[in-house]
Amino acid sequence: MHHDKESKGGIPLIGDPFPEVEVKTTHGMMKLPEAYKGKWFVLFSHPADFTPVCTTEFVAFAKRSDEFKALGAELIGMSIDQVFSHIKWVEWIKDNLDVDIDFPIIADHGDFAKKLGMVHPGKGSNTVRAVFIIDPKGVIRLMIYYPQEVGRNIDEVLRSVKALKTADEIGRAMPENWPENKCLDLGSKVIIPPATTVKDAYERRAKKAEGAYDWWFATEDHKG
């Protein structure tokens, strides 16, 4: 029997529009993605409030909040907890760890999480550690899913936002670990789209000294 993706609560695809939804958060009611129109935003889910791994992640996101904002990106967390629980958890983090959580946290009843494929069938009603990066047009550009037992790397989320923004701005692709590629010592170099004509391919091969390994693999400096 055929079941479509939404009826099963399947994971959306990269390139899909972020679903329009109104959510209750610690900063009041919000409409997504409308609330962040014209901005990048990072939505990340956590299994539950008052759990140790999630606490380390929220502290880490909060401490890097200004770096996300400098990239034009906003943060928003979520889990299937009541807003009262979120508020008390935010207070606990401030009182005990002296960290302000300055971004909103969605209090979901489960429908929104299922729509985004955040609830693992074998993990009860808890959300997985999902990360969605959404661009200023409301399009899902990147998704990362972690199991409950592994905390996220905030550096990688920041790097991903910067890489996506740069790719859009300059029309180039980013090598492994950009802007600190070490496997080929490319550093912050970016990758030029492959040649699409025989003439361009021959010209590309002739420029190996200028960063072209071959017609399909050429790089250039990026300063930014």
Two structure tokens written together for 3: 């079941």
Distance (Å, whole) CA 4 – CA 134: 23
Alpha-carbon distance of 152 to 100, in angstroms, equals 19
Q: What does the pLDDT look like over 199-216, one tens digit per residue? A: 988 888 777 656 788 889
Q: What CATH architecture does domain 5-165 belong to?
A: 3-Layer(aba) Sandwich (3.40)
Mean pLDDT, the chain, rounded, equals 90
Q: Which parts of 139-211 fold into alpha helices (H)?
A: 154-170, 198-205
Tens-digit pLDDT profile for residues 173-197: 999 999 999 999 999 999 999 888 9
Nearest CA among 26, 103, 37, 38 for reference residue 68: 103
CATH code for the part of the protein at 171-224: 3.30.1020.10
Handedness of CA 47, 53, 58, 61 (dihedral sign): negative
In the chain, where the domains are located: 5-165, 171-224
Q: Which of 23, 54, 130, 218 is catalytic?
A: 54
pLDDT at 154 over 80: yes
Question: Quick one: how far is CA 57 from the chain centroid?
Answer: 14
The closest of 178, 166, 131, 123 to 148, measured between CA atoms, is 123
Is 183 noted as a catalytic residue in this protein? no
As a whole number of angstroms, the distance between CA 50 and CA 106 comes to 15
